[in-house]
Structure 1
Amino acid sequence: MAHTVCLSDPTSTPLPALCLECLSCCDLPVTCPYLGVASPDQKGCFPSAPFHGPSFSDHEPVLTQALTSFLPRYLLEQRDVEVNVRDKWDSTPLYYACLCGHEELVLYLLANGARCEANTFDGERCLYGALSDPIRRALRDYKQVTASCRRRDYYDDFLQRLLEQGIHSDVVFVVHGKPFRVHRCVLGARSAYFANMLDTKWKGKSVVVLRHPLINPVAFGALLQYLYTGRLDIGVEHVSDCERLAKQCQLWDLLSDLEAKCEKVSEFVVSKPGTCVKVLTIEPPPADPRLREDMALLADCALPPELRGDLWELPFPCPDGFNSCPDVCFRVAGCSFLCHKAFFCGRSDYFRALLDDHFRESEEPETSGGPPAITLHGISPDIFTHVLYYVYSDHTELVPCATQALARI
């Protein structure tokens, strides 16, 4: 059921006018005491008629002021809607704001993380479609990382930092002299090809040197970005190298997305003479579960055997032969959870202190060649299982007691 936005006081905090077409991404019926109820039509735009109330022309300024004042901030700050959400025409809120000439809305979206990098598909569309010179200047002055840019999705931010900083990495790929510090568990969970190679040809190696002339280090870095974050940014001159790597690593979804994006960009460049797209960006839809489901595979493998019998909340059973390469064992009431420091330290200050800082005395000696073990007290295996899935996949079915335990950690 769609939610209804009630604009009970449409004149309380006026902002610059917002064209109704800018709301095509929200798909929310709008209720106004002056105008009644309106819903987007099949094109995503709010119609001028019919409204269940007075004539639209009498109150259009009031409605546009109310929507500008309330709806963008409500969607981003209260409903936590992704600022770069796309509609079925592959258009973002920033593109519509530029197209309709709403400078202050453009500045608000940019300040809250809207992406508009130069020479990218989205950046060129926004720049070409901008209605005024002040908007074009704002787009040209745009910097993706600014003090005012807020990162609302901490899980995606964590995965990006995991790749960039290489904390607790356990293997280094050297591609034509360029090193990449990565984690076996992430590569294995996201790619069957890497899972096989890391357990056979590259098993036990801390450094893997790749010298094949067809492996481009720029494309390899973009491929790692996709494996860690589900997103990929690649220069158009390296697209063919990236497609070759995607095929080699059996990443068929990425290969399909690259081909579709190349076709779309080509059509755009042909239809808009003078534009120059130099970077392709692949990003999953906001509700795409593939990345989190792959990471949840690591939680599946971390479960002790006595807890794997009931798969009521597991997205996939742990595949035969998959080695997640754990580097820490948590003992909870006699159960051993084989986990990864990179995830627990990166996702929780409590576990970072426990594993990296002055609580190292809690570490127990290795047994039979396994990873070092730490015993956790005051928590049951069932509750720790909820914590486990949240740490790896940012999702778990919480019950009240598990919520309290998770908050403490």
Structure 2
Amino acid sequence: MRIAFVVGKFPLISEVFVLNQVIGLIKLGHEVDIFSFSRGDTKKIHSDVEKYGLLKKVIYLDPLHRVSDRVRETRMSLSEKYSKKIGFKLSLLDLIRYTRDKFLLMKLIHWLRLKSMRPYDIIHCQMGTVGLRFLPLRRLGIFSGKLVVQFRGEDITEFVKQKGEKVYGKLFKEADCFMPVCDYLGERAIALGCPKDKISVLRSGINCKRFIYSERVIPSTGFIRIAIVGRLVGKKGIEYAIRAFSILKKRGYKAELLIVGDGPLRMRLQELSKELNVDKSVVFFGAKNHDEVVEILNKAHLFVAPSVISKNGNEEGIPNVLKEAMAVGLPVVSTYHAGIPELVQDGISGFLVPERDTQSLADKLGYLIDHPEIWIRMGRSGRRFIEKDYNIEKLNKELVDIYRKLIK
């Protein structure tokens, strides 16, 4: 199959899930192109971006999008013969306007070049917001193929709160399939008006081969490393991890909190750790590439993911790094948030606590530190569950099955 992946930004180090699908489809013998609305940071990229030459597969749509918005408003025919060649209709006035503005003319030429490309079987938009941006390009006939939209969290929570519950109305009608990454988001989509028969839940998987399982045991020093990974934004709940950690320190536990990631809340979180007198035991690593994150996970004993609904309504789907932590054998403590209970089995592969409940978070972390004999059992359970339900090789085959049903 010939497949177009459409993303908001590429490359983006935090969106490993895009790489997992793209590379998986390439390995399965499919032809994949990547279209991105903006350029990411090419100085810090995932190793697979270089390995598979993905930067050579990217075509940037950022100049194209603004042109399509202008052209969409005018579909007057310049000539029947010309409109058939380019696949859309322009008025003479618009053509003159584009010609006078060299920048706009270059965008138009870029658009015509894309129009000349062979059609795709599948156009896969990562995130509902990307689907909305892409829709005008499909309407104008620049791209053809079955339109698939994947919901991942923020796009169907915070974005809907900002724009209103009818924001996806047209997309629900025109796209051919919607793939939320968990049952929770699937139910949200249906509640917003998405036809149930257009929904196929496809969980976001990880490459289990890249995560070496290791049984966790308490070190001879008794010093415990607790890891947390994610952007330093509200929905990650890192504030509550720091507060829970301060409770542990007051109880006399020998532990260190390793915070991996960067974001707008970094300064505030560093100040909080000082206010709570735990700054010497809380390490802020900043942003790390994926291989570096895995290295830190391998050195940790426990993992915490205290996700919450942020003040602006942003929610997770299921954090990929939580799957990665379980894959390497870490007992985890997380929250009853979004799709996380579909991943973490309370009391089996880890513990779940209510959102923003720092006392319960501290209690469960303390219980794990006091009972290292359950670490191996929890780690094994987590690894087995990931291999069974979140193995990217299995999920990419399911993705291909969904594609094939659409193009029959």
TM-score, scaled to structure 2: 0.28
The higher-RCO structure (CA 8 Å, 6+ apart) is: 2
Of the two, which has the highest radius of gyration?
1
